[in-house]
Structure 1
């Protein structure tokens, strides 16, 4: 199986799970935090959604510099986030379909000014900085929702809230 096909299959499955959990986020509680050091519910949700489009950045650029190229995602509601997931999915599918196996092996860097935070082949950057990062924060979001007593949808099968 090609790298592109692998990422496309994963994208389709995982975006369904991401849509389900983002749809549970109550906009009226976006400022809620489980701890003073934690991201707010809204910021965590926006971060999960913005990570989706990072695949496009990784495939089309040699690097991303937080100081000069990055702008945090602007969204005000859960509905905004769901619409962005759909828009980002289309952009990422196009980006993935345009990649060759050789391009996946080219290095990509995440930078903060002149400092390189991480540099690795694009295939690893997409797995590590996008996919695994989304799954990590989606798990975090499920804990936030549980603490707010909001039913959690199953991601890889039924959740305790799906059980009958």
Structure 2
């Protein structure tokens, strides 16, 4: 399978699981967090919902400098807004990936904070890293939901909740 087709397929598959997880968040839990050093559910879930736009960012730039473009997280007031944010982010990332010039996939993309280089990888690797970030933060969200006794959807098969355990 070629790289572009593989990346598109993986984006679709992970989006289905991400959508199931995000949709479980109760509207009254967005300010909850399991520990003082943890993000709130709102911070974590909006970060997850925005991550598909990193595919577009990667394809259309040579990098990101947090010193000149500080991250400003989106605010949502509930799950309906969160799902819309995710849907829009996914559509943006997917449509840009569909039109991607695969000859640029080997070009280096740099994440930095001023002079400090945080990460440097090929554009294809950054797209894969974006997917890994979605999965990583989705797992964090699963822990949050479990601590709130909210049933967890399956990711790559049925969850214990779906099996009745």
Q: TM-score if structure 2 supplies the norm length?
A: 0.93
Larger deviation, residues 14-23 vs 71-80 = 71-80
The separation in 2 between residues aligned to 1:96 and 1:74, in whole angstroms, is 26
Q: Deviations over 1:101-125 (max 9, x none)?
A: 2211011111112322111100111
Match of 2:132 in 1: 132
Give 1:20 deviation, angstroms: 0.4
Map residues 9-158 of structure 1 onto 2, 5 A cutoff: 9-69=9-69, 70-128=71-129, 130-158=130-158
Q: Is the 8 A contact 1:2 1:101 kept in 2?
A: no
Pairwise CA distance, 1:155: 1.2
1:137 deviation in Å?
0.8
Tell me the CA shift for residue 4 of structure 1: 1.3
Matches of 1:163 and 1:150, distance apart in 2? 15
Query: Shift in Å at residue 136 of structure 1?
Result: 0.7
1: CA distance, partners of 2:81 / 2:113: 28
Secondary structure of residue in 2 paired with 1:49: helix
Please say if residues 27 and 42 of structure 1, whose CA atoms lie closer than 8 Å, have aligned partners that are also in contact: no
Query: Secondary structure at 1:116's aligned position in 2?
Result: strand
CA–CA distance in structure 2, aligned partners of residues 75 and 64 of structure 1: 24
Offset at 1:71? 2.6
1:31, 1:42 within 8 Å by CA — same for their partners in 2?
yes
Give the TM-score normalised by the residue count of structure 1: 0.93
Deviation at 1:34, TM superposition (A): 0.9
CA distance in 2: counterparts of 1:89 and 1:43, whole angstroms: 18
**1:74–1:114 Cα change, 3 Å:** farther
